[in-house]
Structure 1
C-alpha cells in the first residue's frame, strides 16, 4: 500500500512539473488548459491538507472549498523557473489559506488576534505532546514547546469553543433534567433601574438638615401619612405638605445643578 502510494505521488510530481512547464511556455487558452490539468491532478493533495483541519468547528465542505481555492492560487502563482517542486510551494499556500479562513470567518465568538493566531499551533502541540508523553500535556508544557507566554496558551485553550459555542438554550448533557443553562440564569433586578438615582441622591440626602431628612424618611421609607409625620416632628398636616414640596424642589435643583 505504501509503495503504491509512493509511486502515485512520484507520477503526480512528474506530471505536474511537465504540465507547469508547458503552461509557462503557453499563452491564453492553452495556458489556462494546462493549469486546469495541474489543478485536477493535485486535488487529492488539497483534500489531504484540508482533512487535517476537519472537526474544528467549521463544516468540512467549507474547509475543502477553501483548500481547492488555495490550490488554484498556488497553480496561478507558481514559477517553475524558481523551483521545480510544486508541492513544496503549494502545501504551505493551502495551509495559509485555510488558517486565514479560520482566522477571518471561523470564529462565532471572536477572541483577540494573538489568541486566534496561536490557537491552531496550540491544538497541534497538544496532539504532538500527548503522543510523546503518553498523557495530556499541561499548559506550561505546551507554552515551553511553542516558546509562547503561558497566559497566551491558556487563553488559546479557553478559546477552543469559540468556533462553535454551545447555545444557552441547549440542555446540559450531564444534567438529570432537560433544563438549559438559560433556565438557571437570574432575572433582571427590579432595583437596577433606580441604582443611578440612589447614587445621585445619597450625597444630597446627607447634606439636608436632620429635620428635613427625617421628614423624607418618614414619608418615603416608612410610608407614614402627613398627619403622622406632623405629629412626630411637631407641625400641622398642612405644614408637612408645604415642607415636603420645599424639600423636593431643593433636591431637584441640586440634581439639575
Structure 2
C-alpha cells in the first residue's frame, strides 16, 4: 500500500490543486473521523462525478431512477477511493470505473429483480440495453434482432431469454390504472379469478381415465347413485338385486377408483356412508 504522507496545511481551494495520488496520500494519513479526511473525500467524489454519471448512462433504459443509480455508483466510487493503491495502479479513474459499474450491476441483481432470473440472463439484458443504445446512435434507427445478436455475439434464443428477463424486472400494482381516462379500470379488474369448478373438472378427468376399468354394471350403479341421485334401494329395484348387493358393488367401484387416483397407502375407501348399512364393508 502507499505510504502515508502528511497533508500540507491550506484551504479547500489548495487541496483541489493536488493530484488524486496526493489527495489519497493525505486521505490515508488522516484519522477516519477527521474533518480533513471528509473534505478530501468530497473533493475526490466531486472530481469523479462525471465518471459515475457515464457508468449510469448505460442504464438509461431501465425503470430505475437515474438519481438512485447515481447514489449506487457513488458507493462504488467510495469503495475505490478506500481501496485504490497508487503504487499498484495507473490512475484512480481507471480503477474506479469497474468498481462503479460493478456496484450498479450488483444493485440490479440483488435488489431490483422481482422474481428469480438467472444471472447470465440478467447480464445479457444489461449488454442488450447498451448495444441497443450504441447501434441506434450509429445506425440512426432502431437495430433489428439480428443486428443486436451479431453485435453482442449471442443467438436469437439468448436474446429472447433476455427480453423475457426484462419483463421480470419490475411489477405492476393491481391498483394501476389501465388508461388516463377519468375513473379508469384498474389492472386487478381485468385479471381472472380462481375458477371454483376447475378442481372439480380435473377430478372428473382423472376419474374418466379409469372409468372403463370398471365393469358395466358398476358403471351404471355409480351413474344412478351420483348423477341420478337414486338411493341404493331404488338402484337395487331397477337392477333386480338387493340393496346390500348394491352397497357392495358401489363400495368396490369407489374403492377401485380411489386406489387408482390416490397413493394406495393413503387410500381409505368408502362409499356413501349414509346409504351403506352398518357392518357392510
Shorter-chain TM-score bucket reads: 0.7 to 0.9
Q: Does 1:222 align with 2:222?
A: no
TM-score of the superposition, structure 2-length normalised? 0.71
Structure 1 runs (4+) deviating above 6 angstroms are 30-34, 174-177
Q: Which piece of structure 1 moves more, 78-87 or 179-188? A: 179-188
In 2, Cα distance between the equivalents of 1:34 and 1:211?
96
Q: Does 1:247 align with 2:245?
A: no
In 1, Cα distance between the equivalents of 2:150 and 2:182?
41
- Runs of 5+ in structure 2 lacking a partner? 1-14, 265-281
Q: 2:120 aligns with which of 114, 117, 124?
A: 114
Q: 2:24 aligns with which of 20, 23, 33?
A: 20
Q: Does 1:80 align with 2:86?
A: yes
Instruction: Map 1:1-257 onto structure 2 (within 5 A).
Output: 15-23=19-27, 26=29, 29=31, 36-44=38-46, 45-46=48-49, 47-49=52-54, 51-52=56-57, 53=59, 56-173=62-179, 178-195=184-201, 197-202=203-208, 204-224=210-230, 229-230=235-236, 232-235=238-241, 239=242, 241-254=243-256, 255-256=258-259, 257=264
- State the Cα distance separating 1:85 from its structure 2 match: 1.6
| Residue pair 1:23, 1:32 contacting (<8 A) in 2 also | no
- Runs of 5+ in structure 1 lacking a partner? 1-10
| Residue pair 1:49, 1:91 contacting (<8 A) in 2 also | no
In 2, Cα distance between the equivalents of 1:248 and 1:149?
60
In 1, Cα distance between the equivalents of 2:171 and 2:109?
16
- State the Cα distance separating 1:65 from its structure 2 match: 2.6
In 2, Cα distance between the equivalents of 1:247 and 1:20?
91
Q: Which piece of structure 1 moves more, 193-202 or 57-66? A: 193-202
| Residue pair 2:121, 2:162 contacting (<8 A) in 1 also | yes
In 2, Cα distance between the equivalents of 1:228 and 1:169?
56
Q: Higher relative contact order by CA 8 Å / sep ≥ 6: 1 or 2? A: 1
| Residue pair 2:235, 2:246 contacting (<8 A) in 1 also | no
TM-score of the superposition, structure 1-length normalised? 0.77
How big is the alpha-carbon RMSD for the aligned residues of Structure 1 and Structure 2? Answer: 3.3
Q: 1:163 to 1:210 in 2, by over 3 A?
A: closer
- State the Cα distance separating 1:62 from its structure 2 match: 3.4
- State the Cα distance separating 1:148 from its structure 2 match: 1.8
